[in-house]
Structure 1
Amino acid sequence: MEETTWAALTAALTVAGAIWTWIAFRRRGAANGLRALGFTLLPAAAWLTGTLRTVVEIGSAVTDWATGLVFDVRTWTGVGLAGLAVLLLIVSGFIRDRQLARGQAAGKERRGRTERRGGGELPTAPTPRKGEPVIDDDLADIEAMLRKRGIE
Protein backbone atom coordinates (compact mmCIF):
# COMPACT_ATOMS: atom_id res chain seq x y z
CA MET A 1 0.00 0.00 0.00
CA GLU A 2 1.06 3.56 -0.55
CA GLU A 3 1.71 6.14 2.14
CA THR A 4 -1.59 7.92 1.48
CA THR A 5 -3.48 4.67 2.07
CA TRP A 6 -1.74 4.21 5.42
CA ALA A 7 -2.54 7.82 6.33
CA ALA A 8 -6.21 7.31 5.42
CA LEU A 9 -6.37 4.12 7.50
CA THR A 10 -4.80 5.96 10.44
CA ALA A 11 -7.24 8.88 10.09
CA ALA A 12 -10.24 6.53 9.97
CA LEU A 13 -9.11 4.64 13.06
CA THR A 14 -8.39 7.87 14.92
CA VAL A 15 -11.80 9.38 14.08
CA ALA A 16 -13.58 6.20 15.16
CA GLY A 17 -11.55 6.25 18.38
CA ALA A 18 -12.38 9.92 18.96
CA ILE A 19 -16.10 9.16 18.73
CA TRP A 20 -15.66 6.27 21.14
CA THR A 21 -13.67 8.53 23.50
CA TRP A 22 -16.37 11.21 23.50
CA ILE A 23 -19.07 8.62 24.26
CA ALA A 24 -16.95 7.10 27.05
CA PHE A 25 -16.37 10.52 28.66
CA ARG A 26 -20.09 11.36 28.56
CA ARG A 27 -21.50 8.02 29.74
CA ARG A 28 -18.85 6.46 31.98
CA GLY A 29 -16.72 9.27 33.33
CA ALA A 30 -13.16 10.49 33.18
CA ALA A 31 -11.36 7.21 33.91
CA ASN A 32 -12.98 5.34 31.03
CA GLY A 33 -12.72 8.38 28.77
CA LEU A 34 -8.97 8.66 29.37
CA ARG A 35 -8.54 4.94 28.69
CA ALA A 36 -10.44 5.36 25.40
CA LEU A 37 -8.28 8.37 24.51
CA GLY A 38 -5.17 6.25 25.04
CA PHE A 39 -6.47 3.62 22.63
CA THR A 40 -7.46 6.36 20.18
CA LEU A 41 -3.91 7.67 19.98
CA LEU A 42 -2.34 4.27 19.27
CA PRO A 43 -3.06 4.14 15.48
CA ALA A 44 -1.55 7.62 14.97
CA ALA A 45 1.49 6.65 17.04
CA ALA A 46 1.89 3.40 15.05
CA TRP A 47 1.68 5.27 11.73
CA LEU A 48 4.16 7.95 12.79
CA THR A 49 6.69 5.34 14.02
CA GLY A 50 6.25 3.13 10.95
CA THR A 51 4.93 0.13 12.89
CA LEU A 52 1.41 0.29 11.46
CA ARG A 53 2.51 -1.80 8.46
CA THR A 54 4.07 -4.37 10.76
CA VAL A 55 0.89 -4.62 12.82
CA VAL A 56 -1.20 -5.07 9.68
CA GLU A 57 1.21 -7.72 8.33
CA ILE A 58 1.10 -9.61 11.61
CA GLY A 59 -2.70 -9.45 11.56
CA SER A 60 -2.74 -10.70 7.98
CA ALA A 61 -0.40 -13.59 8.83
CA VAL A 62 -2.52 -14.61 11.82
CA THR A 63 -5.66 -14.43 9.68
CA ASP A 64 -4.08 -16.60 6.97
CA TRP A 65 -2.98 -19.12 9.58
CA ALA A 66 -6.44 -19.20 11.20
CA THR A 67 -8.27 -19.71 7.88
CA GLY A 68 -5.79 -22.45 7.01
CA LEU A 69 -6.42 -24.04 10.38
CA VAL A 70 -10.15 -24.09 9.86
CA PHE A 71 -10.11 -25.74 6.44
CA ASP A 72 -6.96 -27.90 6.46
CA VAL A 73 -7.36 -31.58 7.40
CA ARG A 74 -3.62 -31.99 7.91
CA THR A 75 -3.57 -29.20 10.49
CA TRP A 76 -6.52 -30.65 12.37
CA THR A 77 -4.79 -34.03 12.42
CA GLY A 78 -1.82 -32.32 14.07
CA VAL A 79 -4.09 -30.62 16.60
CA GLY A 80 -5.73 -33.98 17.36
CA LEU A 81 -2.35 -35.66 17.84
CA ALA A 82 -1.24 -32.87 20.17
CA GLY A 83 -4.43 -33.33 22.21
CA LEU A 84 -3.91 -37.09 22.35
CA ALA A 85 -0.32 -36.58 23.51
CA VAL A 86 -1.43 -34.29 26.33
CA LEU A 87 -4.17 -36.74 27.35
CA LEU A 88 -1.69 -39.64 27.44
CA LEU A 89 0.73 -37.64 29.56
CA ILE A 90 -2.01 -36.81 32.06
CA VAL A 91 -3.29 -40.41 32.24
CA SER A 92 0.23 -41.79 32.66
CA GLY A 93 0.76 -39.43 35.59
CA PHE A 94 -2.37 -40.73 37.32
CA ILE A 95 -1.35 -44.35 36.70
CA ARG A 96 2.16 -43.67 38.03
CA ASP A 97 0.77 -42.08 41.19
CA ARG A 98 -1.47 -45.10 41.79
CA GLN A 99 1.43 -47.50 41.32
CA LEU A 100 3.59 -45.55 43.74
CA ALA A 101 0.78 -45.52 46.31
CA ARG A 102 0.31 -49.30 45.94
CA GLY A 103 4.03 -49.87 46.28
CA GLN A 104 4.19 -47.83 49.48
CA ALA A 105 1.18 -49.65 50.93
CA ALA A 106 2.69 -53.04 50.07
CA GLY A 107 6.00 -51.99 51.63
CA LYS A 108 4.28 -51.01 54.88
CA GLU A 109 2.42 -54.33 54.94
CA ARG A 110 5.64 -56.31 54.40
CA ARG A 111 7.41 -54.38 57.15
CA GLY A 112 4.52 -55.06 59.52
CA ARG A 113 4.67 -58.82 58.86
CA THR A 114 8.42 -59.06 59.37
CA GLU A 115 8.25 -57.08 62.62
CA ARG A 116 5.61 -59.47 63.96
CA ARG A 117 7.61 -62.59 63.00
CA GLY A 118 11.05 -61.46 64.00
CA GLY A 119 10.74 -59.76 67.34
CA GLY A 120 8.26 -61.87 69.24
CA GLU A 121 4.76 -62.47 68.18
CA LEU A 122 1.76 -60.47 69.21
CA PRO A 123 -0.47 -62.11 71.80
CA THR A 124 -3.44 -63.91 70.39
CA ALA A 125 -6.85 -64.35 71.90
CA PRO A 126 -7.76 -67.75 73.21
CA THR A 127 -9.62 -69.90 70.77
CA PRO A 128 -13.29 -70.36 71.59
CA ARG A 129 -14.42 -73.71 72.93
CA LYS A 130 -17.13 -75.73 71.34
CA GLY A 131 -20.47 -74.03 71.65
CA GLU A 132 -19.04 -70.60 72.54
CA PRO A 133 -19.64 -67.72 70.15
CA VAL A 134 -16.70 -66.44 68.14
CA ILE A 135 -15.31 -63.26 69.67
CA ASP A 136 -12.96 -60.89 67.92
CA ASP A 137 -9.53 -60.04 69.40
CA ASP A 138 -10.55 -56.78 71.09
CA LEU A 139 -13.52 -58.33 72.81
CA ALA A 140 -11.46 -61.35 73.88
CA ASP A 141 -8.94 -59.06 75.59
CA ILE A 142 -11.73 -57.21 77.41
CA GLU A 143 -13.35 -60.48 78.42
CA ALA A 144 -10.04 -61.78 79.79
CA MET A 145 -9.58 -58.61 81.88
CA LEU A 146 -13.11 -58.92 83.27
CA ARG A 147 -12.54 -62.58 84.25
CA LYS A 148 -9.28 -61.66 85.93
CA ARG A 149 -11.14 -59.17 88.12
CA GLY A 150 -13.88 -61.64 88.85
CA ILE A 151 -16.53 -60.01 86.69
CA GLU A 152 -18.26 -62.28 84.24
Structure 2
Amino acid sequence: MDNVTWAALALTLTVLGSLYSWWAFRHRGLAPGLRGVAVTLLVPAAWLTGTLSMFTRIATAISQWATTLAFSPQVWVGIGSAALSGLLLVVARAVDHRRPGAGRAGRGELVEGRGAVTGRGTRQVSPGTKPGSRPQAPAHDDEFDDIEELLRRRGIQ
Protein backbone atom coordinates (compact mmCIF):
# COMPACT_ATOMS: atom_id res chain seq x y z
CA MET A 1 0.00 0.00 0.00
CA ASP A 2 1.16 3.51 -0.61
CA ASN A 3 1.52 6.34 1.88
CA VAL A 4 -1.89 7.87 1.11
CA THR A 5 -3.65 4.60 1.88
CA TRP A 6 -1.81 4.27 5.20
CA ALA A 7 -2.71 7.87 6.07
CA ALA A 8 -6.38 7.22 5.30
CA LEU A 9 -6.35 4.07 7.43
CA ALA A 10 -4.66 5.89 10.31
CA LEU A 11 -7.11 8.80 10.05
CA THR A 12 -10.12 6.46 10.04
CA LEU A 13 -8.88 4.53 13.06
CA THR A 14 -8.09 7.79 14.89
CA VAL A 15 -11.57 9.18 14.27
CA LEU A 16 -13.19 5.93 15.45
CA GLY A 17 -10.97 5.88 18.54
CA SER A 18 -11.82 9.52 19.30
CA LEU A 19 -15.54 8.77 19.06
CA TYR A 20 -15.15 5.85 21.48
CA SER A 21 -13.07 8.00 23.85
CA TRP A 22 -15.76 10.70 23.86
CA TRP A 23 -18.48 8.08 24.53
CA ALA A 24 -16.39 6.45 27.30
CA PHE A 25 -15.76 9.83 28.94
CA ARG A 26 -19.48 10.75 28.91
CA HIS A 27 -20.84 7.37 30.04
CA ARG A 28 -18.10 5.73 32.10
CA GLY A 29 -16.00 8.54 33.53
CA LEU A 30 -12.61 10.17 33.29
CA ALA A 31 -10.31 7.10 33.54
CA PRO A 32 -11.92 5.08 30.68
CA GLY A 33 -12.02 8.22 28.53
CA LEU A 34 -8.31 8.87 29.10
CA ARG A 35 -7.52 5.22 28.29
CA GLY A 36 -9.46 5.59 25.03
CA VAL A 37 -7.49 8.73 24.09
CA ALA A 38 -4.20 6.96 24.91
CA VAL A 39 -5.04 3.99 22.68
CA THR A 40 -6.32 6.31 19.94
CA LEU A 41 -3.03 8.22 19.89
CA LEU A 42 -1.13 4.98 19.24
CA VAL A 43 -2.57 4.74 15.71
CA PRO A 44 -1.17 8.05 14.35
CA ALA A 45 2.09 7.33 16.21
CA ALA A 46 2.33 3.95 14.47
CA TRP A 47 1.65 5.60 11.09
CA LEU A 48 4.17 8.40 11.62
CA THR A 49 6.93 5.96 12.68
CA GLY A 50 6.20 3.43 9.92
CA THR A 51 5.31 0.63 12.31
CA LEU A 52 1.73 0.43 11.04
CA SER A 53 2.95 -1.06 7.76
CA MET A 54 5.36 -3.29 9.70
CA PHE A 55 2.50 -4.68 11.80
CA THR A 56 0.50 -5.49 8.68
CA ARG A 57 3.52 -7.22 7.10
CA ILE A 58 3.94 -9.30 10.27
CA ALA A 59 0.24 -10.18 10.31
CA THR A 60 0.39 -11.12 6.63
CA ALA A 61 3.45 -13.33 7.16
CA ILE A 62 1.82 -15.09 10.14
CA SER A 63 -1.42 -15.70 8.23
CA GLN A 64 0.47 -17.09 5.22
CA TRP A 65 2.48 -19.38 7.52
CA ALA A 66 -0.71 -20.59 9.26
CA THR A 67 -2.42 -21.20 5.91
CA THR A 68 0.59 -23.16 4.65
CA LEU A 69 0.69 -25.11 7.89
CA ALA A 70 -2.97 -26.04 7.67
CA PHE A 71 -3.13 -26.97 3.99
CA SER A 72 0.31 -28.28 3.03
CA PRO A 73 0.81 -32.07 2.94
CA GLN A 74 4.58 -31.56 3.20
CA VAL A 75 4.19 -29.73 6.51
CA TRP A 76 1.90 -32.44 7.87
CA VAL A 77 4.42 -35.14 6.93
CA GLY A 78 7.04 -33.13 8.84
CA ILE A 79 4.77 -32.84 11.88
CA GLY A 80 4.02 -36.56 11.67
CA SER A 81 7.70 -37.49 11.52
CA ALA A 82 8.45 -35.24 14.50
CA ALA A 83 5.63 -36.90 16.48
CA LEU A 84 6.86 -40.37 15.49
CA SER A 85 10.38 -39.42 16.58
CA GLY A 86 9.11 -38.32 19.99
CA LEU A 87 7.06 -41.49 20.36
CA LEU A 88 10.04 -43.68 19.50
CA LEU A 89 12.18 -41.88 22.09
CA VAL A 90 9.54 -42.50 24.76
CA VAL A 91 9.20 -46.18 23.78
CA ALA A 92 12.99 -46.65 23.81
CA ARG A 93 13.17 -45.17 27.30
CA ALA A 94 10.35 -47.43 28.50
CA VAL A 95 11.99 -50.53 27.00
CA ASP A 96 15.30 -49.59 28.62
CA HIS A 97 13.69 -49.34 32.06
CA ARG A 98 11.72 -52.60 31.76
CA ARG A 99 14.79 -54.69 30.96
CA PRO A 100 16.07 -56.63 34.02
CA GLY A 101 19.21 -55.15 35.52
CA ALA A 102 18.68 -51.85 33.74
CA GLY A 103 20.17 -49.84 36.58
CA ARG A 104 23.67 -48.42 36.46
CA ALA A 105 25.20 -51.85 37.08
CA GLY A 106 23.17 -53.27 34.18
CA ARG A 107 25.06 -51.12 31.74
CA GLY A 108 28.48 -52.60 32.51
CA GLU A 109 29.66 -49.99 35.01
CA LEU A 110 31.56 -50.98 38.12
CA VAL A 111 29.76 -50.78 41.42
CA GLU A 112 31.76 -50.35 44.62
CA GLY A 113 32.60 -53.74 46.12
CA ARG A 114 31.04 -55.74 43.27
CA GLY A 115 31.88 -56.72 39.74
CA ALA A 116 30.15 -55.20 36.75
CA VAL A 117 27.08 -56.92 35.38
CA THR A 118 27.22 -57.35 31.63
CA GLY A 119 24.19 -57.18 29.35
CA ARG A 120 23.72 -61.00 29.52
CA GLY A 121 23.60 -61.08 33.32
CA THR A 122 27.10 -62.59 33.81
CA ARG A 123 29.33 -60.98 36.36
CA GLN A 124 32.76 -59.68 35.50
CA VAL A 125 35.30 -59.74 38.29
CA SER A 126 36.57 -56.42 39.57
CA PRO A 127 40.31 -55.87 39.33
CA GLY A 128 41.92 -57.00 42.59
CA THR A 129 39.49 -59.86 43.36
CA LYS A 130 40.10 -63.49 42.60
CA PRO A 131 37.72 -65.33 40.27
CA GLY A 132 35.36 -67.55 42.25
CA SER A 133 35.76 -65.61 45.50
CA ARG A 134 32.94 -63.61 47.02
CA PRO A 135 33.27 -59.87 46.70
CA GLN A 136 34.22 -58.04 49.85
CA ALA A 137 31.41 -56.41 51.76
CA PRO A 138 31.63 -52.64 52.05
CA ALA A 139 32.86 -51.19 55.35
CA HIS A 140 30.14 -51.08 58.02
CA ASP A 141 28.80 -47.82 59.28
CA ASP A 142 27.73 -47.52 62.92
CA GLU A 143 24.31 -46.21 61.96
CA PHE A 144 23.55 -49.23 59.79
CA ASP A 145 24.79 -51.81 62.31
CA ASP A 146 21.64 -51.38 64.42
CA ILE A 147 19.41 -51.81 61.39
CA GLU A 148 21.27 -54.91 60.25
CA GLU A 149 21.01 -56.41 63.76
CA LEU A 150 17.22 -55.87 63.76
CA LEU A 151 16.91 -57.47 60.34
CA ARG A 152 18.97 -60.49 61.42
CA ARG A 153 16.84 -60.98 64.53
CA ARG A 154 13.68 -61.05 62.45
CA GLY A 155 15.23 -63.39 59.90
CA ILE A 156 14.95 -60.94 57.06
CA GLN A 157 18.60 -60.73 56.14
* TM range, smaller chain: 0.5 to 0.7
Deviates further, 20-29 or 49-58: 20-29
What is the aligned-residue identity percentage?
A: 41
Aligned pair 1:71/2:75, yes or no?
no
Structure scoring higher RCO (CA < 8 A, sep ≥ 6) equals 1
The structure that is helix-richer by fraction is 1
| Structure 2 counterparts to residues 45-124 of structure 1, below 5 A | 45-88=45-88, 91=90, 94=93, 98=97, 102-103=103-104, 107=111, 110=114, 114-116=135-137
Count of residue correspondences? 121
- The separation in 1 between residues aligned to 2:75 and 2:69, in whole angstroms, is 6
- The separation in 2 between residues aligned to 1:104 and 1:64, in whole angstroms, is 53
- The separation in 2 between residues aligned to 1:28 and 1:83, in whole angstroms, is 53
Q: Normalising by the residue count of structure 1, what TM-score does the alignment of the two structures yield?
A: 0.53
Following TM superposition, by how much is the alpha carbon of 1:44 offset from its aligned partner in structure 2, in angstroms? 1.0
Partner secondary structure for residue 103 of structure 2: helix
Q: Partner amino acid for 1:11? A: L
1:130 aligned residue: none
Root mean square deviation, CA, Å: 4.4
- The separation in 1 between residues aligned to 2:81 and 2:72, in whole angstroms, is 15
Gaps of 5+ in 1: 118-135, 141-152
Distance 1:19 1:84, change over 3 A: farther
Aligned pair 1:138/2:142, yes or no?
no
Following TM superposition, by how much is the alpha carbon of 1:43 offset from its aligned partner in structure 2, in angstroms? 1.9
